[in-house]
Amino acid sequence: MKKGPNGISEPEFREDLVSGDWILIAPGRNKRPDQFVSKEKRAVPPIDNCPFENPQASGNADPILRVPADIRREWEVQVIPNKYPAVSAKSPIMKGDFGPYLTLSGFGHHDVVITRDHFSNFPKLSPKKAFDLFKVFQERYRMLAADKRVAYVSIFHNWGAKAGASVYHPHYQMISIPVIPPDVAHSLSGATRYFRKNRRCVHCDILSFEMKAGKRVICESEGAVAFAPFTSREPFEFRVFPKKHLPYFEETEEEDLKSVVEVLRKAVGLLERRFPDIDYNIFIHTAPTRSKGRYAHYHWHVEVMPKVSISAGFELSTGIEITVVDPDEAAEFIRKG
C-alpha cells in the first residue's frame, strides 16, 4: 500500500477476485496490530458444571459417532444431536408462500462434535487428535450428504463468547440444510465466472500468487498453506487451503487432509500466542453435496475469523467492510508469534 505524508498507509479499495465484492483497507484508522491484544482474561468455568464433560450424564443422546468406537475405552471425540437444534430432521421438505414471500420448512440435521479435554481447544490438541477430529467431520459429512434432501453441510467452530460459544468446553458444530447458503453461493458463482473466463481455478491462481509474493503467508507445509487474504474483511483473518486442487472436503485423501489440519493447527496457535484470549470462528467452505460434476472447479478451504472489530453503520449500509489492519502487516504479526 502507498504511504501518506504522515507515514500511515493511505486507504485503498480492493475488489475480491472471487466474489467481486469491494473491501476498504484503511489502516490509518488504527496505529499498530498489537493494539488489538485484549487485556481481558478468558474465564474458564469449572469442569463440575460442564455439560460436555460427560455428555450422556448431562441428558444428551447417545453418540452418533464415537472415537474410539469401542465403548469399553474412554471416548476422545463424540458426535451427538444438538439438544437445541436450529433445524429439525423431522420437518418434511415443504415449500410454501406467505403473501409475496417464499418459505421452506426448516429441515436439516444439527450435530455437536465434542472433544474430550475440557482445556484443549483446537490448537492445543495433539496432531493426531486434531487429525482424528477432522476424520470424524469427514465421516459424519458423508453420512449427512447421503440424505438426498441435503444440499449443503456447514462445519464450524465458535471459540469464545464473542464468537457465539455458549459453552466453554471445546466443541464444533455441523448443520446440514436443504439450500445452498448465500455466502457459499456467492463464492461458487464467483469461482464459476472466473473458470469460464480463464479455464483455471480462481483459488489455485490466488494460491500461486500468494506463495510467490510471500508477504501474506503465515505458515505452510508441503501440502497446505495459511495466508491473510489480500481482500481481508476482518483484521487478522486468514484462510488455509490444500495446495492440491480439491473441490470436496469429504473426498480429500488422508495425506492432504493431514496437511491442512497441521497448518490450521499451527496458524491458529500462532494467532493465540499473539492474542492469548482472542475469540474466533473457524469454518469450512466446500462444494455442495448435490450436482458434483458442476463444482469440479471449486477449491475447498478453511476460514478463520477473529472477533476483534464490529461492523457499524458504513459496513451495514453499504456491504463494504472496512479493515483497519493491512493484511500484509496482519500476516507478519501473526507469523512472528
Residue-level pLDDT at 257: 98
Asked whether the bond before 68 is cis by omega within 30 degrees of 0, the reply is yes
Binned at pLDDT 50, 70 and 90, residue 259 comes out as very high
* CB distance 157 to 137 below 8 Å: no
pTM over 0.85: yes
pLDDT tens-digit readout, 71-93? 889 999 999 999 999 999 887 77
Give the structural domain span for 278. Answer: 1-337
Number of domains in the chain: 1
Binned at pLDDT 50, 70 and 90, residue 50 comes out as very high
Binned at pLDDT 50, 70 and 90, residue 3 comes out as low
Binned at pLDDT 50, 70 and 90, residue 242 comes out as very high
Binned at pLDDT 50, 70 and 90, residue 70 comes out as confident
Select, from the ranges 55-59, 162-166, 252-256, the one with the highest average predicted confidence (pLDDT).
252-256
Burial class, 137, CB count within 10 angstroms (exposed 0-12 / middle 13-18 / buried 19+): buried
Burial class, 195, CB count within 10 angstroms (exposed 0-12 / middle 13-18 / buried 19+): middle
Residue 24 in grid coordinates? 476498504
Burial class, 1, CB count within 10 angstroms (exposed 0-12 / middle 13-18 / buried 19+): middle
Binned at pLDDT 50, 70 and 90, residue 29 comes out as low
Residue-level pLDDT at 91: 73
Residue-level pLDDT at 293: 85
Residue-level pLDDT at 5: 42
171-177 and 109-115 strand pairing: antiparallel
173: domain CATH number is 3.30.428.10
Q: For the chain, give the mean pLDDT.
A: 92
Mean pLDDT of the 268-275 span = 97
Residue-level pLDDT at 34: 74
Query: Which phi and psi angles does 114 have, rounded to 5°?
Result: -110, 135
With a cut of 90, say whether residue 183 has pLDDT above it: yes
